Structure 1
């Protein structure tokens, strides 16, 4: 499989620019004061379809050979990749079929369907989504769009890193570290590739939910490790069992390490983002914020970018999180 390069990310940046949002890099004085560092928030929750996934999806889907694959595209996803592929296929005017877990958040199912994709549900505990997708590809004569282990998908996600490096430079910020979520590793691989090219001295950290910290463990031992079966997390976007082969090859020499956060940390981060930053984040999209708020990485006297990767949160879960957060009952004094 072709290994993406910085040139591929630059090419992807040009390709997706007419359709993707250049998301803001925001700085909050209250967050800086709270943590004692300079924190810059790359808000991919404001991206088209509500997450960074549109970038890689469009970069890949727009290159599909329509003569070779008249049936369009097939993807498997718990929601954000599904939405990205469905919307990219709509823009490219090709058919899309998406294999989604039956317990995916309703908001992600609805938005995937709204972009015109056919949805095939499966049980994530008993069925193999990739086997279902392979059968669909054969039946439909369609191209499979991998969620992370694809050079064009990685290059598309890498445009997040290209943008944040450019935006940080414009702000006069010298980056010490960048934190981004990891599941299969497509986002963190693309970000690491781009940022290390632009700011070689910056440290790059993956962030995962506890119980799904395969990237952290894999980086520690230098080979891919699997998660133990049966683990649960509210971070539905970050539940892959092991790093991708291609993504880990890119990440193992570029990442400074991996961080893990609890569901309780994530809940507090989602509530903090809503209350103090005025941002709506899904649990998986808030793990980088959770890492710095919980102290998983010390950011005092450092300039750090956190990638807030998505905002497609189930409304009932969101209401529960912000209602249960005890800090909301405490009056704030400016």
Structure 2
């Protein structure tokens, strides 16, 4: 059976499990960004305001709750930072022992946050997929469950749960949403969003946004198969890295994502500064990808009703200070 079929049941179950653990984040109308595209009505879903600073908390809690219900007490995961922080919060709350695998060179601010929060961290490889493969192998060798950052239907269902709330808020003010812009890494977030909204409003356009320096999912979808695509250094560390063979997110992206926008580093930077200047909100590079995609391509959203997903806020002070000085 196609993994994208009958997805709604998982989402409803996820809703029951995690609603007491996560925040209902704001859906904020932006007159500033709407004005860039005449006639547009644009909202930002501020999942960057979520506990632990990203949307990842939802999928982590959903999967961790399932494992706890199965009497599992030890978990291994892999992360570029945000998923690890989310899993750590869920593990502490639910009483699990957690080990987090990260690639060498992972964002220093996120690594410090993990260690300061008491995480057990193992560094391995140079790409996120290297850390994932090592974590998965060690989980088998040690007889411990592996919690994937994206390649898991229960994780995706947890991410989709947040969009159900988003959808309810949108339909109050924006009953005819035309476009949803979503940052994409491994595909867990856009898989959940697209898998649900396309069943409710098929005419809505789902647009995947990736940094030009790490556009792995886009290249995989274009090729029709999962392949290796080198990732270069990007401010959007939360979306960087390769994709596991057989990832369940791949068919979601193939089936439901209508279009893709690649975003240059300068446009990610400008989006972060824009949010700080105009909305007094701190967002990280991955959120800057979807916001920057709109800002750079505003003309295509004229007279459209748009939602931009701001997925995270975990950016280091030194990085933020560098960007402020650069774009002053």
Fold match by TM threshold 0.5:
yes
- Of 260-269 and 169-178, more deviation after overlay is shown by 169-178
In the alignment, what sits opposite 1:332? Answer: none
| Pair 127,183 (structure 1): closer, same or farther in 2 beyond 3 Å | closer
- Alignment partner, residue 113 of structure 1: 115
> Distance in 2 between the 1:105 and 1:272 partners?
22
Aligned match of 1:298: 300
Report the TM-score, using the length of structure 1 for normalisation. Answer: 0.90
Going from structure 1 to structure 2, the CA distance change for 1:54 and 1:188 (only over 3 Å counts) comes to: same
Moved more, 216-225 or 81-90: 216-225
- Out of 46, 51, 55, the position equivalent to 1:52 is 55
2:68 matches 1:38: no
Corresponding residue to 1:136 among 130, 135, 138: 138
Residues 215, 258 of structure 1: 8 Å contact kept: no
- Is 1:262 matched up with 2:264? yes
The SS at the match of 1:253 is helix
SS of residue matched to 2:300: coil
Alignment of 1:66-215 (within 5 A): 69-70=72-73, 72-124=74-126, 128-138=130-140, 140-215=142-217
Q: Aligned to 2:182, what secondary structure does the other structure show?
A: strand
TM-score by length of 2: 0.91
CA deviation string 1:270-325 (max 9, x = no partner)? 11111112110111121110001011771111011010000000111111112211
Counterpart CA distance in 1 for 2:19 and 2:160 is 13
Deviation of the 1:269 alpha carbon: 0.6
Q: What is the aligned partner in structure 1 of residue 324 from structure 2?
A: 322
Distance 2:231 2:217 in 1: 17
* C-alpha distance in structure 2 between counterparts of 1:63 and 1:277, whole Å: 37
Cα root mean square deviation, aligned: 2.3
The runs of 5 or more residues in structure 1 that have no matched partner are 329-334
Aligned to 1:64: 67
1:66 and 1:50, CA in 2 relative to 1: closer, same or farther beyond 3 A? same
Structure 2 equivalent of residue 25 of structure 1: 27
What SS does the aligned partner of 1:191 have?
A: helix
Decide whether aligned partners of structure 1 residues 195 and 127 sit closer, same or farther in structure 2, where only a CA change above 3 A counts: closer
Q: How does 1:227-246 map to 2 (within 5 A)?
A: 227=229, 229=230, 231-242=232-243, 245-246=247-248
The alpha carbon displacement at 1:3 in A equals 2.7
Q: Following TM superposition, by how much is the alpha carbon of 1:123 offset from its aligned partner in structure 2, in angstroms?
A: 3.9
Could you give the per-residue CA deviations for residues 50-107 of structure 1, whole angstroms, max 9, x where no partner exists?
001111011001111577644x110111101111111111111110000123422333
